[in-house]
Chain A
Amino acid sequence: MRPTDSPGPLDSSLADERRAVIERDAALVRRVREGDTAAFDEIVKAYMRQVFQVAYRVVGHREDAEDLVQDCFLAAYQYLDSYDVDRPFGPWITRIVLNRGANLRRSRARRATEPETDVVSSAPSALDEATRAEARAKLVEVMATLNERQRMIVTMFDVDGMTSTEIGERLELAPGTVRWHLHEARRVLRNALARFIEDER
Chain B
Amino acid sequence: MTDLHLHRGARAPHDEPRRDQRFSALLRDLMGPIPMGEVNWDALAGRVGAAIRARQAPWWSYVERWQRRTLPLALAAGLLGATVLVHSWLTHPEALTSAPDMVSAVVAGAPAEDAATAFSHTVTTAAAYTTDLLE
Check if B39 is an interface residue, CB within 8 A of chain A.
yes
Contact of B44 among A70, A74, A201 (CB under 8 A): A70
Interchain CB contact under 8 A, B45 and A41: yes
A115-B32, A127-B29, A159-B27 known; A37-B17 Cβ under 8 A: no
Interface of B is mostly: helix
Contact of A62 among B19, B20, B35 (CB under 8 A): B35
Residue of A nearest to B52 (CB): A77
Interchain CB contact under 8 A, B34 and A160: yes
Check if A69 is an interface residue, CB within 8 A of chain B.
yes
Chain A interface size, under 10 / 10 to 19 / 20 to 34 / 35 or more = 35 or more
Check if A200 is an interface residue, CB within 8 A of chain B.
yes
A186→B12 CA distance, assembly (Å) = 19
Interchain CB contact under 8 A, B16 and A164: yes
Interchain CB contact under 8 A, A176 and B13: yes
A123-B28, A159-B24, A160-B34 known; A69-B48 Cβ under 8 A: yes
A2→B15 CA distance, assembly (Å) = 10
Q: How many interface residues does B have (CB within 8 Å)?
A: 35
Check if B135 is an interface residue, CB within 8 A of chain A.
no
Interchain CB contact under 8 A, A60 and B31: yes
Interchain CB contact under 8 A, B49 and A41: yes
A69-B44, A70-B48 known; A159-B28 Cβ under 8 A: yes
Interchain CB contact under 8 A, B36 and A136: no
Residues of A within 8 A of B20 (CB): 158, 186
Interchain CB contact under 8 A, B32 and A57: no
Contact of B32 among A45, A48, A69, A116 (CB under 8 A): A116
Q: Encode A98-124 as 1/0 by CB contact (under 8 A) with B.
A: 000000000000000001100110111
A97→B16 CA distance, assembly (Å) = 26
Contact of A3 among B12, B19, B44 (CB under 8 A): B12
Residues of A within 8 A of B49 (CB): 37, 40-41, 44
Residues of A within 8 A of B14 (CB): 2-3, 175-176
Q: Encode A121-159 as 1/0 by CB contact (under 8 A) with B.
A: 011110100001001100100000000000000110111
Complex interface residues of chain A between 164 and 201 (CB less than 8 A to chain B) = 164, 175-176, 179, 182-183, 186, 189-190, 193, 196-197, 200-201
A56-B35, A157-B17, A200-B22 known; A49-B41 Cβ under 8 A: yes
Interchain CB contact under 8 A, A163 and B55: no
A76→B24 CA distance, assembly (Å) = 33
Residues of B within 8 A of A182 (CB): 17
Interchain CB contact under 8 A, B17 and A196: no
The 3 A-B pairs at the shortest CB distance, nearest first, are namely: A119-B32, A3-B14, A158-B24
Give 18 CB contacts A-B under 8 Å. Answer: A44-B45, A48-B41, A49-B41, A52-B36, A56-B34, A57-B31, A62-B38, A66-B44, A73-B48, A74-B51, A122-B32, A123-B33, A125-B29, A139-B30, A161-B24, A176-B13, A176-B14, A190-B23
